[in-house]
Structure 1
Amino acid sequence: MSSLQHDPAFYQLLAESYTRLTGRLLVPATVPLHVAPRWLYEEAPFAVLAHNTAADPVFIYGNKAAQQRFGYSWDELVQLPSRQSAEAPNREARQQFLERVQRQGYEDGYSGVRITRAGQRFMIEEATLWQLLDAAGTLHGQAVIIPRTRDL
């Protein structure tokens, strides 16, 4: 798979599906479109992750803020089943959240415990998860924006 880090088409899927479902912009309007994919990956002050539609979804994208918070490099992250971002006892609540998003298109205000590669637990707060739907309505996975986290 080619790298989605700065891919304009993948950025367009992320940004347009987010705006279509939430009515909000993923990247500030002050960021020019031609640099928006790089800004989201390199400079965004919030974490963004996306996983695919596999039966056991695998992350396909995680910006630098997400990599730093979860403790994975790009190459490690894009091989990780997304369920492994939560400890086993928290996976059922996470799965219920994912299913609500499948039904509703997106959900705001989610908080939940996650785990770093090194096993450190932390809380994600005020997260928004949305369906990665292209303009034709084809589902490509789900993505999340995590504006805030705190150590536990």
Structure 2
Amino acid sequence: MQQPVTSEHNGQQIRYRRSTALWKGSLCFLFLLLCVILLWIIVDGQAERLETIYYSIAAVLGMWLIGPLFFMFLSRLTRNPAVLLSWDDESIRTGKRKIPWSRIRKVELASPARSKWLLSASPMFVLYLKDGTRSHVQTDHLLSKKELNQALALLQRTLQEQQQDR
């Protein structure tokens, strides 16, 4: 089993398990397949008038809510390496962004309930910068609550150490 927080030779990183992205993505795929089957039943004329309304609403809502999750998990499954963020003594790296520790004021975990389009919003690490802006690091539902809290504690502790060293 892969640990969410690992050390590497020149820093640390928060990793996710590809197996988590695979099983969650597979579950989303099955649900999307069910939505397509509902639409096929309508197109094929096997549904009665009232069923047509229910099936079409269920299929459209299912695709609307689950479709983005499927593509998010698929993108995380194919990403190499399986790292949410990494850091060393100088900065945090989130994808292509690199933020020096000296610019970060605090780190928190935010868990928005829903986006404005009713889509599922994943928990994220929020880096509050000294210039008043924020940088968000999406976790894409790939870490458990325990893993999120462990990673947050480690990030906060590292930030504190970096602030004391300067």
Query: Hey, which of these two has a bigger chunk of strand by percent?
Result: 1
| Largest Rg, 1 or 2 | 2
Query: Hey, which of these two has a bigger chunk of helix by percent?
Result: 2
**Superposition TM-score, scaled by structure 1 size:** 0.31
